[in-house]
Structure 1
Amino acid sequence: MLMARRLPIPDRPVVVVTGASAGVGRAVVRRFAQDGARIALIARGRDGLEAAAREVEQAGGQALVLALDVSDADAVEDAASRVEERFGPIDIWINAAFAGVLAPFMDTKAEDYRRVTDVTYHGQVNGTRAALRRMLPRGRGSIVLVGSALAYRGIPLQAAYCGAKHAIQGFQDSIRAELDHVGSAIHVAMVQLPGVNTPQFDWIRTTMPNRPKPASPPYQPEIAARAIHYAAHHRRKSLWVALPSAKAILGDRLASPLLDRYLGATGFRGQQGAEPVSPDRQDNLWQPVPGDHGAHGRFDAQARRHSIWLELSTRPRLSASMIGAAAALAAGLLFRRKKG
């Protein structure tokens, strides 16, 4: 495995994070705050944004709160101008905002489907356009598209979200080819996340009878944040964050029709818990849920805190050493068998 080249990013970069108020975006903000970065925080929920800004400043960074909807291209463009007026040239733009609906396709209202697409897909398009408009004249910068294993393998009850993530994957290919055509050094990476323990399961819109939950034990958002931070600083096109991401992507390449049938049999039950949905439950599809929800969801007890796959993906020398050790062990066992 080749060592990924490090990008020429300043030690205290100017960073824009969409979806910064909660979940993965909030964990990303905390990770960049450790660098003393100057961070623009974009999301709709002001309570979470103000709390995130305090965390940035307590860690020694600087924060700019920008409450807006990423589906509004003009608002995103105006925000990018405000960032550069306050902090100077944008070095890194992280597209982490998304929306979702947990429902069968035929039970999903057309306006809700469009809303998921506008936030999850067009929101990343709008952010990338605003970033490139400023980065292209300078010939430098790093953009991270936050993807998912579901960008390659769709699952039931999430047609809108899966379609949007698939679109991002094709969008990345096109943008990278265009940047290569003009000889630009701007880097566009995509990080493929597994299930993550975030508040999304408590506020995603659903028509199902029981509370949404991850289909398999999720990973803590700090794992996702570390992967996104790495992708922003290294010249890697795509980064698979954990083994479930790799299994879903590779499994679809090898046995897509079989996965259709398997997920048809397990995907409905696997994405719902035992508790019924509360009649007064709020969702954040069209309006943010008030309050500061932080980075973590309610699955801390089940969530995984480490990803060996990510360690191997981001530390090629460690990977090579482990492969060498495994080969030596296998050779030793073979020699003992022959000797015996």
Structure 2
Amino acid sequence: MAGRLKPLAQQVLVVTGATSGNGRAIVEQAVLRGAAVVAVARNADALDDLRTQMSANGGRIVTCAADVSDLAAVERIAVVAIEAFGGFDSWINNAGIGTYGTLDQVPAADHRRVFDVNYFGVLHGSLVAARHLRERGGGAIINIGSILGDRAIVQQGPYCATKHAVQALTDTVRMELEQDATGISVTLVKPAAIDTPFPEHARNFMDQPPRLPQPLYAPEVVADAVLFACAHRKRTLYAGGGGMLSSILSQAAPRLADRIMEAVGTRAQQKPNDRGDPSRRDNLYEPRTDALRGSQDVRVRRSSVMVQVQKVPRPAISIAILAGGAAALAWATRPKWRT
């Protein structure tokens, strides 16, 4: 029988991709709730700023500059955690990068780079975390996937492919650790579109500035789901109801979802005349200016009912009602073409 996870305030968390977007929100909320944090990112200057800010408010935080595509660098993170806090209780694989453009527009080297960070970074983190947590008798590994691990979208093919791979990787890690009765909880968090600098950071091959499609949620929605998973055993958590409904629609009526993506997917991911902060553009190979939120003019939802529903001990009934409604809508509006 798996043991209970520690309350968040008694934990040490490792957070990769910690200086921007969801990672930054996770760090800020974790420190606010009393946890100690090992913040990891490529951007050493941004790490220094983050440590200064969190320490000034009484937070317990150390930093480690590392590129998660490098296994040796990821192993060094665990050493930093052990030296600073005696180890860690939860490891959050959050670092991620992306591109905008069709598959033939994105050079093969950039495809590989996205996989090096988004897939191999999660693999490296999961292996290092599992090795350490086995010795501690349990803990939590939380991998940040995406609704695009359920539903591919045009213009983000490499990113979608990595998130499908992360889902398979996470399921495999969970089964292997359960087979060995390690007591380690493994959770996949699937954010919807979140208001982070991702569109500005991504390498863009489109002829218009990229954006994330509506509805957009604040990064704190993801942080809420992740920190809940640190202290509660959950298989999967969707961060944002819009994302979950999109996933359900795709499973209930995949051809309808394809046609919708083909018709509006590119336009929904372009924001003419709003390129955002130029200092943030293209962090595929080198870090750029990091921030909690994107700098484009967008509408943002600051909370998610779906996250709160998934926190209750038996959320299946509520989620089933939502799923049934989405499936019924998909069936009622299904196209009459042949497949």
Q: What residue in structure 2 maps to residue 96 of structure 1?
A: 94
Partner Cα distance (1:45, 1:189) in 2: 26
Residue pairs, 1:145-164, within 5 angstroms? 145-164=143-162
Matching residue's letter, 1:73: L
Residue pairs, 1:95-244, within 5 angstroms? 95-244=93-242
Are the counterparts in 1 of residues 274 and 297 from structure 2 also a CA contact under 8 Å?
no
Q: 1:305 aligns with which of 298, 302, 306?
A: 302
Cα deviation digits, residues 264-317 of structure 1 (max 9, x gap): 111111100121759x7731000011x4x3211125750001211112221358
Are the counterparts in 2 of residues 28 and 225 from structure 1 also a CA contact under 8 Å?
yes
Cα deviation digits, residues 226-269 of structure 1 (max 9, x gap): 11111111111001122112112211211112211210111111
Q: 1:16 aligns with which of 14, 17, 24?
A: 14
Are the counterparts in 1 of residues 78 and 87 from structure 2 also a CA contact under 8 Å?
no
Offset, 1:44: 0.6
Are the counterparts in 2 of residues 15 and 39 from structure 1 also a CA contact under 8 Å?
yes
Bigger radius of gyration: 1
Aligned residues: 318
Partner-residue secondary structure (3-state), 1:86? helix
Cα deviation digits, residues 143-187 of structure 1 (max 9, x gap): 100111001100001111111000010111111111111112100
Gaps of 5+ in 2: 321-339
Partner Cα distance (2:33, 2:82) in 1: 19
Cα deviation digits, residues 28-77 of structure 1 (max 9, x gap): 00011013322111111122211221232133222111111010011100
Asked whether 1:294 is paired with 2:284, we answer no
Partner Cα distance (1:60, 1:135) in 2: 27
1:75–1:269 CA distance, 2 compared to 1 (3 A)? same
Partner Cα distance (1:247, 1:51) in 2: 37
Which stretch of the first structure deviates more once superposed, 167-176 or 56-65?
56-65
Offset, 1:105: 0.5
Are the counterparts in 1 of residues 8 and 230 from structure 2 also a CA contact under 8 Å?
no
Offset, 1:10: 6.0
Q: What residue in structure 1 maps to residue 330 of structure 2?
A: none
Residue pairs, 1:65-84, within 5 angstroms? 65-84=63-82
Partner-residue secondary structure (3-state), 2:9? coil
Cα deviation digits, residues 192-220 of structure 1 (max 9, x gap): 10000011122211011111111113101
Q: What residue in structure 2 maps to residue 254 of structure 1?
A: 252
Matching residue's letter, 1:57: S
Partner Cα distance (2:131, 2:168) in 1: 20
Partner Cα distance (1:162, 1:322) in 2: 24
1:219–1:86 CA distance, 2 compared to 1 (3 A)? same
Q: What residue in structure 2 maps to residue 7 of structure 1?
A: 5
Partner Cα distance (2:191, 2:138) in 1: 26
Matching residue's letter, 2:312: R
Q: What residue in structure 1 maps to residue 331 of structure 2?
A: none
Asked whether 1:285 is paired with 2:284, we answer yes
1:106–1:36 CA distance, 2 compared to 1 (3 A)? same
Q: 2:57 aligns with which of 53, 56, 59?
A: 59
Are the counterparts in 2 of residues 15 and 40 from structure 1 also a CA contact under 8 Å?
yes
Matching residue's letter, 1:55: Q
Offset, 1:117: 0.6
Gaps of 5+ in 1: 324-340
1:256–1:185 CA distance, 2 compared to 1 (3 A)? same
Partner-residue secondary structure (3-state), 2:271? strand
Identity %: 35
1:299–1:306 CA distance, 2 compared to 1 (3 A)? farther
Q: What residue in structure 2 maps to residue 337 of structure 1?
A: none
1:214–1:10 CA distance, 2 compared to 1 (3 A)? closer
